[in-house]
Amino acid sequence: MFCPNCGKQNRQGADFCAGCGTKLPASPQAQPVQQTVRYPAPEPLQPQQPSAPQPQAKEANPVMIFVITMLIGLILIAAFLLFIKPGYLINSDSSRADTSSVSDGSEKDDTSSKTTKKTKKKDSSSDSDSSKATTTKKRKKKTDTTTSAPETETETTTTTAAATEKPKQTQATTDKTLDAKNKAYAEAGQYSTYARPSFDEFEWCFGQNGLIYTPSSGVDMITETLGFTGGWKAMVIYNPSNYAGTFIRELDNVDIGVNGDAVDLTIDWYLMSYDTSETYNEEDMEDTLFLGSVSGSGFNVSSGETTLTMNYFWKADGKEYALGTIQLPDYTSAYIALIRP
């Protein structure tokens, strides 16, 4: 290496110049040789072509799956009937053929079914004979049914006529009953009165042996309860047996109402007489209502502890009459007679 100051050549690696002593610069160390790696030149970019759309897989249709499953099931059933049990369809066809040969509206013949089962065990010739016999029986049955049809129709007509006649009879009975009720009610309205009574009007209820408790024979009894309705003149006799030595009579007006079996009776108090000598006016007294129902040929009605029973109603000589008794709270009985008009 050469000295930069004097130019003298010095040995390689010397620190100072051998000629002038100048410090020599450090000699450069050997640098490692770097290997250059060469890569191939990139290929030029080519324009990309759009890729074609890939077909998507179709989704399975549940309806189609169900239909296919059903078809497979039907095919398996048909195969079972045709190959595993071939006699099933044959027997069904025979049964249908037997049914179609019966006349319209007729039931299946059990005898022909039994005959068909028995003939299966016979040969072909006996099958033919049995079939003819079965056909003959069926024809005979059809003929018998046709012959008996008119008899059935006649019975039905007779039953219908009887059923039609019964409502007519019932209606006639109902009309007759209504006519009787209406007649009795109309007559009751004609006889009804609310005029004040007198003792002279009740002389008919005294007989040779005392008071009369039953009507005489041969009178026209009033049996229709609506014939009781309307206004009546009444006489009440207290202590009719006269065991206490007194004779008390009373005149009143009575109004009777009937609704079905229910009966109501109202007493309008009028006049009381003691031993036919003293009389007392009772018109200021409040009317008394009795309630009850039809009983026998008359009725029973009550008001508190008092019970009034009318036993008989009848018509005679253009008038209407009635007789009964009154059970008083003191356990004594009174006599009551009615008359109108």
| pLDDT tens for each residue of 287-306 | 999 999 999 999 999 999 99
Q: How far apart are CA 250 and CA 325, in angstroms?
A: 14
How would residue 177 be classed by pLDDT, with cut points 50, 70 and 90? confident
Q: How far apart are CA 123 and CA 111, in angstroms?
A: 20
Pairwise pLDDT comparison (308 vs 129), residue with the higher score: 308
Is residue 186 pLDDT above 60, yes or no? yes
Q: How far apart are CA 88 and CA 85, in angstroms?
A: 6
Is the pTM above the cut of 0.85?
no
The H or E element that residue 55 is part of is none
What is the mean pLDDT of the segment spanning 199-218?
Answer: 90
The answer to whether 197 touches 232, Cβ cutoff 8 Å, is no
Q: Residue 200's Cα: distance from chain center in Å?
A: 65
Is residue 252 pLDDT above 50, yes or no? yes
What is the mean pLDDT of the segment spanning 201-212?
Answer: 88
The answer to whether 267 touches 251, Cβ cutoff 8 Å, is no
Q: What is the pLDDT of residue 141?
A: 44
Q: Is the dihedral angle over the CA atoms 62, 63, 69, 73 positive or is it negative?
A: positive
Q: What is the pLDDT of residue 150?
A: 43
Q: Strand, helix or coil at 322?
A: strand
Q: Taking the domain 199-340, which CATH number applies?
A: 2.40.128
Is residue 48 pLDDT above 60, yes or no? no
How would residue 170 be classed by pLDDT, with cut points 50, 70 and 90? confident
pLDDT, the chain, mean:
75
How would residue 9 be classed by pLDDT, with cut points 50, 70 and 90? confident
Pairwise pLDDT comparison (74 vs 253), residue with the higher score: 253
DSSP 192-228: ---SPP-GGGGGGGEETTEE--SPPTT-EE--SGGGG
Q: What is the pLDDT of residue 10?
A: 80
Task: Name the phi and psi angles at 238, rounded to 5.
Answer: -85, 145
Q: How far apart are CA 183 and CA 312, in angstroms?
A: 19
Is residue 152 pLDDT above 60, yes or no? no
Residues β-bridged to residue 9: 2
- Longest Cα separation, the chain: 210
What is the mean pLDDT of the segment spanning 126-154?
Answer: 44
Q: Show the tokens assigned to 206.
A: 């005294």
- Burial degree of 264 (CB within 10 A; 0-12, 13-18, 19+): middle
Q: Strand, helix or coil at 91?
A: helix
What is the mean pLDDT of the segment spanning 230-242?
Answer: 91
What does the pLDDT look like over 69-86, one tens digit per residue? Answer: 888 988 888 777 776 555
Q: Nearest 5 degrees, angle CA 198-CA 290-CA 216?
A: 50
What does the pLDDT look like over 111-135, one tens digit per residue? Answer: 444 444 444 444 444 444 444 444 4
Question: DSSP assignment, residue 341?
Answer: -
The answer to whether 199 touches 251, Cβ cutoff 8 Å, is yes
Pairwise pLDDT comparison (113 vs 237), residue with the higher score: 237
The answer to whether 308 touches 322, Cβ cutoff 8 Å, is no
Q: In the chain, what are the domain boundaries?
A: 199-340
Q: What is the pLDDT of residue 246?
A: 73
How would residue 12 be classed by pLDDT, with cut points 50, 70 and 90? confident
What is the mean pLDDT of the segment spanning 88-112?
Answer: 46
Is residue 200 pLDDT above 60, yes or no? yes
Pairwise pLDDT comparison (193 vs 179), residue with the higher score: 193
Pairwise pLDDT comparison (276 vs 267), residue with the higher score: 267
**One-letter amino acid of 228:** F
What is the mean pLDDT of the segment spanning 149-159?
Answer: 45
Task: Find all residues with CB under 8 Å of 322, minimum gap 6, and list them.
Answer: 228, 232, 298, 310, 312, 313, 314, 337, 338, 339
Alpha helices in 122-213 (DSSP H): 124-191
Q: How far apart are CA 222 and CA 189, in angstroms?
A: 14
Is residue 110 pLDDT above 80, yes or no? no
Q: Show the tokens assigned to 99.
A: 């049914």
Q: What is the pLDDT of residue 80?
A: 73
Q: What is the pLDDT of residue 140?
A: 44
Q: How far apart are CA 142 and CA 36, in angstroms?
A: 121
Q: What is the pLDDT of residue 47?
A: 53
**One-letter amino acid of 190:** Q
Could you tell me what percent of the chain has a pLDDT over 90? 41
What is the mean pLDDT of the segment spanning 241-250?
Answer: 76
Q: Is the dihedral angle over the CA atoms 157, 158, 160, 164 positive or is it negative?
A: positive
Is residue 92 pLDDT above 90, yes or no? no
Q: What is the pLDDT of residue 176?
A: 79
